[in-house]
Amino acid sequence: MNNRLTTFTNDGLTFDVIDDGPSDGVPIVLLHGFPQTSRQWSRLTPYLHERGYRTIAPDQRGYSPGARPRGRFAYRMSALVGDTAALIETLGGEPVHLVGHDWGSAVAWSTAAAHPGLVRTLTSVSVPHPMAFVRSCISSTQLLRTFYMVLFQVPWLPEALIARGFRAADAAGSPQWRRARELSRLDDEQFGRVRRDIVDGGALHYALNWYRAMPLVEPRRAVRAIGVPTTHVWGSRDVFMARKGAELTAEYVTGPFRGETLDAAHWIPEERPAELATIIAARVNGID
């Protein structure tokens, strides 16, 4: 595992990878969320590298230019999990420490359930266990917080509206720019990166297919309780994820579990990178 990984393949698709840190360090795989790429981890990874860890962050399906199949069926959860499993196999097939944020967290949960032999530990950030999320939708404000997921099912209109909002950055200070920034809860650097990587980079339509594949239920792939050591991290100022999901998550982990709450919004890897790195390192080192 000393060779640097720049790409890997699965299902005839080619995925870009950022492989950094000590080449002989313990590998930590980082799965990004929407609407971001592997570069969302750029504020976090230096803190992991200084602890001696190697980080492997892929641009996931729809985000990598070489991995943009057409049609929402190609973005069902089993396909996303298959990509992560293929990445770990490419690294040598030994179990890795898996970290996910937002949609990356959902993929991480499902990977740990479907392929427990490939995951040594799991750290989920912002998005709770899938069943905890479902339960929180009927017992808290979660459904209202994520109503945008329903709107994203409409063809093409979300692409047009999101692109318009991010491109309003050309007129910084304009009402459209302020509104787009307010809705996204991103800082200026993040906002610009999303525009370059997702909107201008052509990934937006494919990234939205992750949401459009949600109704394609795969009954046999319901996420079971997780047996690997797990930490779930939630931000107390997260406007997208309710506290209830974080509270319920412990019920779906049979292995060692720790819940962490940070004074942060949804974008924890960028807002609280040092604190998150400490939490990840604690999980990797088996500190419960």
pLDDT in the model for residue 224: 85
Give dist(CA 42, CA 49) in Å, integer: 11
CA of 70: how far to CAs of 15, 59, 80, in Å?
16, 17, 14
pLDDT in the model for residue 17: 98
Question: Which residues have CB under 8 Å from 179's CB, separation 6+?
Answer: 165, 168
pLDDT in the model for residue 223: 82
Give dist(CA 46, CA 59) in Å, integer: 19
pLDDT in the model for residue 168: 72
- Tokens (6 digits) for 122: 């799991």
Question: Which residues have CB under 8 Å from 263's CB, separation 6+?
Answer: 235, 236, 237, 272
Q: Which residue ranges in the chain fall short of pLDDT 70?
A: 1-2, 169-181, 183, 219-221
Name the β-bridge partners of 198: none
pLDDT in the model for residue 243: 98
* DSSP codes, 66-108: T---SSGGGGSHHHHHHHHHHHHHHTTS--EEEEEETHHHHHH
What domains does the chain contain, in order, with CATH numbers?
A: 7-145+218-284 (3.40.50.1820)
Q: Is residue 70 packed enough to be buried (19+ CB in 10 Å), middle (13-18) or exposed (0-12)?
A: exposed
Give dist(CA 24, CA 69) in Å, integer: 34
CB 154, CB 264: distance < 8 Å: no
Q: What is the pTM of this model?
A: 0.95
